[in-house]
Structure 1
């Protein structure tokens, strides 16, 4: 059992997004394992950078699909705001980390896990049925 486990409750029904969610879960677990094993700063920084870049790629995928298939504008805007809030929080952490003010801790990892689960179970699950139906047409 990993720090964060994928299960079907997290599935949106949109294969591309679910595959990307699984990858994000895997990246969070890899980063957590490396942190717990005491891997060096360079390794952790590289892994955190990969996680942040992949999250950005995933957010773009979701937003592109929602736009392409006519997801309601108000819901899309709210979804984008959640993505922006996450990116802002991570940027704030990375800036503080670069200044030596914070390090990668269990609390940071818990934030990543909790945010991802809450976002998938809440906001992402909303688009699932809509996109699945629209993508059939």
Structure 2
């Protein structure tokens, strides 16, 4: 059982490191554009980096919850792979949004589709497991 969870733990740790990277980018942007805390707005270049980081941080708790729930109740391997795809999509989103607001492209559509597939698989598995217990 513990061997199965190594992939989930690795993806979780990678996600935390990604969030730290995004936060560091906000710190660098604050210094570059002279936006001192607690201000959250400044030049458009800073605003894009700040919003990209905030957008990614808003979805992180949902990502971790779905990753572990689907990994424990469905498939740790598949959940880990989907988690890696999600993190890659988030990185692309952050880089694109930081460059220009239009640069975020269709990443949100890709992310939402993957997240919904994970949710549907989890719900199907949970639903069929609950029916067999009745």
TM-score between both structures, scaled by the size of structure 2: 0.48
- Superposition TM-score, scaled by structure 1 size: 0.48
* Greater helix proportion: 2
**Higher alpha-carbon Rg:** 2
Q: Which has the higher contact order (CA 8 A, sep 6+)?
A: 1
